[in-house]
Amino acid sequence: MPKNQFQLDREKLKEAVWLVADYCPQEELGNVKLHKILYFSDMLFFLHQGQPITGVEYLKQKFGPVARHLSAAVTSLAADGKIGVSETEYYGLYKKNYVSNLPFARERLSEEEVKLIKDVADFVRGKSAKEISEISHNAAWEAAELGEILPYFTALRLVPTEVTDSDRAWAIESARQHAGQRPF
């Protein structure tokens, strides 16, 4: 797989994590959901704008894509007093809890990016961690081997495409023009 073509913006990653921790109720946000909110936000923004929000690399793991530098971002935010992180037992497993200690203050994220992250968070929050992991096992996730980077261009696999007769006609006409043939 090719290496990520986008530069990681650590400050935007931290700001996105802080936004999610501030926006989502603690009981609705754990580690799995945080990774998936970031993943889907970056991929959807890439589809719309041609570049991701954070530029973080996502690795294919057993339970879906994970953000490579999330632990460092969380540690930094906790050290700055912006978020708190704790662990609780949840159905026999340990769940990380993220809570904002300070009200979110937008600095680097655009209003459009904030809106998208909140929209994705609303979708993800309505699912269990297991459900959202299964949803993340999509065609984009299938494009890499376990442990490999999921390039942003794999987001194109998230969009269902249907080729119509007019699409075919346009493709044939374009091919003929490029090949120097006369149209029928």
Q: What is the pLDDT of residue 1?
A: 44
- Tell me which range, 28-32, 82-86, 124-128, is most confidently predicted by mean pLDDT: 82-86
Identity (one letter) of the amino acid at 20?
V
Which residue has better confidence, 140 or 82? Answer: 82
Are residues 58 and 39 in contact, defined by beta-carbon separation less than 8 angstroms?
yes
Are residues 22 and 103 in contact, defined by beta-carbon separation less than 8 angstroms?
yes
Contacts of 159 (CB under 8 A, 6+ apart): 47
- What stretches of 50-164 show up as alpha helix (H) in DSSP? 70-79, 111-125, 129-136
Contacts of 181 (CB under 8 A, 6+ apart): none
The pTM (predicted TM-score) of the whole model is 0.81
What is the separation of C-alpha 10 from the centre of its chain, rounded to a whole number of angstroms?
Answer: 15
Are residues 41 and 65 in contact, defined by beta-carbon separation less than 8 angstroms?
no
Specify the residue for token string 């501030």.
22
Q: What is the pLDDT of residue 81?
A: 97
Secondary structure E strands in 27-174: 58-61, 64-67, 83-90, 93-100
Q: Which uninterrupted H or E stretch holds 135?
A: helix 129-136
Confidence of residue 89 (pLDDT cuts 50, 70, 90): confident
Does the pLDDT at position 105 exceed 90? yes
